[in-house]
Amino acid sequence: MMDNQDLVILHEITFRNERTIENLETKLAMSKRQITYALKKVNELLNENSQEEICTSGSKLLISTASENFLQNYLLKSSIFEEIYHSKKNRQLMILLILSCSLEFLSLDHLIIMLDASRSTVLNDLKDIKILLAENNLEVTYSRKRGYYLLGNEENIRYALMQIVLKCLNEDHGELFLENFIFKYLEINSLDFEEKILEASQNYHIHFFENKLKEFTYCFILLNQRLKSYTMNSDYSKEAFHIETNEYKFSELICNYFEITDKQNISYVSAWIAGVSSGDITKSTNDKEMIEQIVRRLISRFESLAGIRFLDTNVVVRRLYEHVRPAYYRILYQLPIFNPLTEKIQKEYAEMYSLVKEALKPLQALFESELPSDEIAFLTVHFAASTYEEQEKRIKRNRGLVLCPSGIGTSLILVKELEALFPSIEFVTESSHEKTDISSFDIIFTTIITQFLFNSNIPFIVVNPIMNPKEKFELIGRVYEIINKEPLINPQVRDVLNIVKKHVNEEQYFKIENDVLMQSDEINSHVIIEDGGDYPLLSEVTSKKLVKLNVPASNWEEAIRNSTDVLVKEGKVLPSYIDGMIQTTRESGPYIVITKHVALPHARPESGAKEIAISIATLEHPVVFGNKENDPVKYVFGLSALDNKTHLTAMAELAELLDQKKFYDVLDTAKSPEEIIAYILKFESEE
């Protein structure tokens, strides 16, 4: 019989696609002997149910599709799997939830019975929780009258509870955990209430992001006792949410379900709804003009910093408006956000993240605080998706459903990645499948495991929303196997295997084929990783020949022409490209003045760009470009870009330099171009 440790290992293999013993050792902090022993018990289970065993080839685990499906269903249906929920992590989660949502007397005995744990275990869990809550300026206290309860600012308590729910929902089976907790301890059917919320949202034209409906449903149920009993100190009844708005009417209706009548709390829920529902630029709301202005200024600033121009700005505005409006209210009212992909976005899209963070600086001044990294990461994937060039439509054969609850921007990135890897598959995102027959899909790509996947009877693969090269290669093999019902092997190798098959029995052939697949994976995985290349640094796209000091100019047009003519002289652009810079500035206004005293003129690649390059110039006398905030211009950086992405590393680096007073000192005092190039090289070496 398998114990909890065996189940954890099995979960990693079947649901998280962890297929090497070394990775399991590292990830689970277990020995090779422990993992091998667990695999032996798994194979005994497979044998008992007439399934193929998990084989090993070196360190790699090889499992058939049929065995994988069997084990996945075994984990979900087996009562043994419930024991995983009694881990230390989930015990503490249950204590936090009950402390936050219940206002009834809560004794130590209550907790012991609820958790089915010993007295010392519960007391140790409470100690850990006290340390955790201190980070939110909250504490767990005890009195004879109330038992255990939370002490602290009501706003902080609600914030902490929401954070707990958001993190839980982004974990495997987190939704199932919350659903069971609410039904067992609060005696509320969350699915029934979710249907009421969905119906009310349709009546008042409130549209939730993909997973925000779930987040709001669970948080609202868990907070309903507090909403009935406590009033917030902060004022949430601002002009944007007076009683005539759809957000307020919707909030009033759902509050009535739990007999919440306090006007201040209804206003709080209104602000909350604005922070979890998508913005719709076609709606005439009190804040539309303000939010749209923020979005357009953000896009303009990003284009200036990144040195790109979006082909269809209105499409980008509409897409960003959907996210910026709720982000604005989350930040304004200090509502929590949880982006499980932030660290990965910062790593895989480092240049884009840096540029978006720089573009958002004026917004930070609006809120008088630094923007959360999770918000910046969400916006980063929106901008990254928008920089993909429109591609020619391809002939589609198979259909794939993409489930990615991390947000619309992340879904777009994932779909783009999948389209590039599988041009023969037509992809549909979760938001599009509501009115679509699920049975029409051939395969599902998902970033999180839900019961829905097993009810669909469609092959599914759990993927990371942002994949590294090795993950992409492994995914290609798995998808090929599902779509074509056979492993992905070089055609010549396949021909040899067909010959071998005639002269060996079935068991021998299976082992030979697995060894071939193992060797093929190792070779090709190495190749695909080696093929990836970094984008050029700033020092690689500029040079002393592209630097001009004390350039004379009497107006902005002369400043651009005289500063960037070196791009033509050095063969980086055609003369028409400089004309394109001038024309772009005339049409779009002085948006190219990206920060105090700095202009970044550029044009579309088709205007005559030949190579990626950046020219650097200081003006003899400052020149007015017409940008009230940042005039007069003293420094001109001319950009030649061939596409929307290749130059982003250099531009992210330049954005960092433009934040340093020392860089301006060098520009002002340099006697030769070599001094400026030397400073850039020194900056890069320190990075």
Q: Is residue 110 annotated as part of the catalytic site, yes or no?
A: no
CB neighbourhood size of 12 (10 A): 17
Q: Which residues lie below 8 Å from residue 352, measured CB to CB, with a gap of 6+?
A: 380, 383, 384, 387, 648, 652
Nearest to 616 by CA among 687, 537, 545, 536: 545
The first and second tokens of residue 634, run together, are: 């003293």
Nearest to 8 by CA among 33, 32, 39: 39
Cβ-defined contacts of 130-134 (< 8 Å, 24+): 132/92, 132/96, 133/96, 133/160
- Dihedral angle sign, alpha carbons of residues 425, 430, 433, 437: positive
Quick one: which of 62, 59, 58 has its CA closest to 46? 62
The structure tokens 């779909």 sit at 415
For the residues of 497-513, what is the DSSP string, one character each? HHHHHTTS-HHHHHHHH
> Using omega within 30 degrees of 0 as the cis cutoff, is the peptide bond preceding 632 cis?
yes
Calpha distance 584→228 (Å, rounded)? 57
DSSP states of 155-222 as a string?
Answer: HHHHHHHHHHHHHHHTSTTHHHHHHHHHHHHS---HHHHHHHHHHHHHHTT--B-TTHHHHHHHHHHH
Which residues are 619's β-sheet partners? 551
Asked if residues 650 and 541 have their Cβ atoms less than 8 Å apart, the reply is yes
- Cα separation, 193 vs 584, in Å, equals 53
Backbone angles phi, psi at 446, to 5 degrees: -135, 150
Q: How far apart (Å, rounded) are the C-alpha atoms in residues 270 and 240?
A: 10
Question: Rounded distance, CA 44 to CA 153, Å?
Answer: 54
CA distance 14 to 16: 6
Tokens of 7: 């189940």
Strands 547-551, 613-623: pairing kind: parallel
Catalytic residue among 11, 602, 621, 647: 602
Q: DSSP labels for 423-468?
A: TTEEEEEGGGGGGS-GGG-SEEEESS--HHHHHHTS-EEE--SS--
Q: What is the dihedral of CA 169, 175, 181, 183, to 10 degrees?
A: 140
Active site residues: 602
